[in-house]
């Protein structure tokens, strides 16, 4: 395996370790809490700040430890499985880190359902929220679209290899190119089933709360975790396609100008980066206010309206007004 | 709609739960066909033992306020005369179809009013 990958992995591991220690301090926790509060559009009520701060730290710790475990697993897998110096090694490690981090968040959120509740009045919804209340349809659709695209792309490449136009694949070790991408595609398909099951399990977990604001914060955490979870199959699928097309474009000999081989190489060279750019764009879009406050519009519409009013008072762009309108199908009418 | 349980109240938690679900059905906050949370989910939400929630559900089922449909969970039962029950079931189907088609509640209500011949 490339020693550069090992060195970079060791540096990232050390960086995550430093971040873990840093997050344990009071000041960074407060900053994290304020940033998260703005992101999810909920107020910080003094009575619950200590508990929120602890919970934010537990989530951050779980996410970082998960990412560290993912990094170790990813690098070990690269060393054990093929040991080559492929240019996409970093992408694979990125995937295992994302999966590890999200797994950490799920464990942290699931455990919060069993947090001891003091002897105070407790509230619960009569109708349990579903995935659609926490994750936007766009987020769900995009992840599955990437999976479908990756599957179609793989089948198309198999077809092109079978046809072997102008014998461009004669000198290419097709198997060594197809199996890593195929394995990732199979993992993406398995991940879509696993994440669906994990989302169901998480949604079935309770949300102990004594006040509306506690319940709203619980919704905010759940929304963040579910958005990460839903994205995993799409991320693995996009990386699978990226690996496939990047490997193919590198493996085919530079063909004659104007030949079918040149068209193939150009196509393979373009598709990989385009997919990765789409993936990055999607990840950024899923961090937009529309996604991070989707649960408010569905479950706490009055709070969403209030948030909208505050944003406009601060001079936020007028375009947000339409986007942040509460959904007609929202489940509660109670302000958080 | 929210359920509120006070563990320090003299009324047992299962009774608080039963009374609140009953009141929500009577006030129309819970309509026939509405799905209730699972026993386990509600127990975790309210910090109660699963048996406590199960007991409240059993009492409500005995009073024919809710019905359990096997593994699908517990639902608010249709109530009143046979005619009312049929209309409630039809309304639940109508609401489900409107949601499925993405028709807003106000628009769906307007369609229902027009079908009933109510002119506003």
> What is the count of structural domains for chain A?
1
Give the pLDDT confidence score for residue A324 in this predicted structure.
Answer: 47
Considering CB atoms only, which of A117, A127, A332 is closest to B35?
Answer: A127
d(CA A62, CA A69): 10
| pLDDT tens-digit series, residues B12-64 | 999 999 999 988 888 888 888 889 999 999 999 998 999 999 999 999 999 88
Residue A150 belongs to some domain of the structure: yes
CA neighbor of A304 nearest in space, from A276, A284, A332 = A332
Contacts of A326 (CB under 8 A, 6+ apart): A297, A298, A301, A302, A304, A305
Contact criterion met (CB < 8 Å) for A205 and B44: yes
Nearest CB neighbour to A124, from listed B42, B104, B105: B42
* pLDDT for position B36: 93
Residue B35, chain A, CB below 8 Å: the answer is yes
B28 touches chain A (CB under 8 A): no
Q: What is the mean pLDDT of residues A103-126?
A: 80
Q: Hey, which residues does B71 pair with through a beta bridge?
A: none
ipTM: 0.70
From first CA to last CA, the distance across chain A in angstroms is: 52
A206/B41 CB distance under 8 A:
yes
**Structural domains of chain B in order of their starting residue, each with its CATH number:** 1-79 (1.10.10.10), 80-120 (no CATH)
- Let me know if residue A12 belongs to a domain: yes
Contact A204 B7 (CB under 8 A): no
Please tell me the distance in Å from B112's CA to the nearest CA on chain A.
17
Higher pLDDT, A99 or A166: A99
Asked if residue A259 is part of any domain, the answer here is yes
Residues spanned by the domain of A175: 3-120+133-292
Average pLDDT over residues A224-242: 89
Residue A55 and residue A86 in contact, taking contact as beta carbons nearer than 8 Å: no
Is residue A39 assigned to a domain?
A: yes
Nearest CB neighbour to A124, from listed B3, B99, B104: B3
Taking CB atoms and an 8 Å limit, are A205 and B106 in contact across chains? no
User: What end-to-end distance do the CA atoms of chain B give, in Å?
Assistant: 29
3-state secondary structure of B56: helix
* Chain B interface disruption, residue of A204, A206, A210, A302, most B CBs within 10 A: A206
Residue in B2, B7, B38 closest to A204 by CB: B38
State whether residue B106 sits within 8 Å of chain A by CB: yes
Least confident of A150-154, B8-12, B97-101: B97-101
CA distance B85 to A284: 49
Q: Percent of chain A beyond pLDDT 90?
A: 18
Q: Is B40 at the interface with chain A, CB within 8 A? A: yes
């Amino acid at each position: 395996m490339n020693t550069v990958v090992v060195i970079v992995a060791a540096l990232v591991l050390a960086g995550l370790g430093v971040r873990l220690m840093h997050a344990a301090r009071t000041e960074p926790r407060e900053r994290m809490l304020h940033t998260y509060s703005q992101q999810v559009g909920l107020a910080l009520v003094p009575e619950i700040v200590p508990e929120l701060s602890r919970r934010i730290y537990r989530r951050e710790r779980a996410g970082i430890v998960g990412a560290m475990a993912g990094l170790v697993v990813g690098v070990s897998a690269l060393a054990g499985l093929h040991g080559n110096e492929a240019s996409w090694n970093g992408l694979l490690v990125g995937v295992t880190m994302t999966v590890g981090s999200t797994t950490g968040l799920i464990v942290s959120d699931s455990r919060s359902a069993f947090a001891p509740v003091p002897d105070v009045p407790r509230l619960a919804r009569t109708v349990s929220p579903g995935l659609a209340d926490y994750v936007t349809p766009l987020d769900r659709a995009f992840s599955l679209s990437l999976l479908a695209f990756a599957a179609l792309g793989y089948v198309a490449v198999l077809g092109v290899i079978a046809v072997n136009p102008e014998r461009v694949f004669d000198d290419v070790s097709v198997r060594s190119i197809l199996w890593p991408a195929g394995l990732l595609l199979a993992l993406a398909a398995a991940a879509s089933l696993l994440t669906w099951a994990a989302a169901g399990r998480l949604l079935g977990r309770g949300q102990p709360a004594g006040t509306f604001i506690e319940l709203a914060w619980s919704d905010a955490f759940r929304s963040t975790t579910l958005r990460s979870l839903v994205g995993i199959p799409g991320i693995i699928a996009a990386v699978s396609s990226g690996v496939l097309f990047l490997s193919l474009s590198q493996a085919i000999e530079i063909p004659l100008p104007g030949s079918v081989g040149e068209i193939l190489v150009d196509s393979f060279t373009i598709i990989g980066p385009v997919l990765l750019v789409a993936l990055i764009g999607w990840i950024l879009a899923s961090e937009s206010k529309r996604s991070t406050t989707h649960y408010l519009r569905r479950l706490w519409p009055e709070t969403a309206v209030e948030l909208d009013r505050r944003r406009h008072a601060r001079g936020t762009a007028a375009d947000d007004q339409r986007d942040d309108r509460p959904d007609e199908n929202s489940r509660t009418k109670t302000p958080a | 709609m929210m359920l509120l349980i006070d563990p320090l109240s003299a009324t047992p938690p299962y009774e608080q739960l039963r009374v609140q679900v009953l009141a929500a059905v009577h006030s129309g906050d819970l309509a026939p066909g509405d799905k209730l949370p699972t026993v386990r989910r509600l127990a975790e939400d309210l910090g109660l033992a699963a048996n406590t929630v199960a007991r409240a559900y059993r009492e409500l089922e005995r009073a024919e306020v809710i019905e359990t449909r096997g593994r699908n969970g517990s639902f608010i039962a249709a109530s009143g005369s046979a005619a009312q029950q049929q209309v409630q079931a039809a309304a639940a189907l109508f609401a489900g179809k409107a949601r499925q088609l993405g028709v807003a509640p106000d628009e769906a209500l307007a369609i229902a009013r027009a079908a009933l011949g109510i002119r506003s």
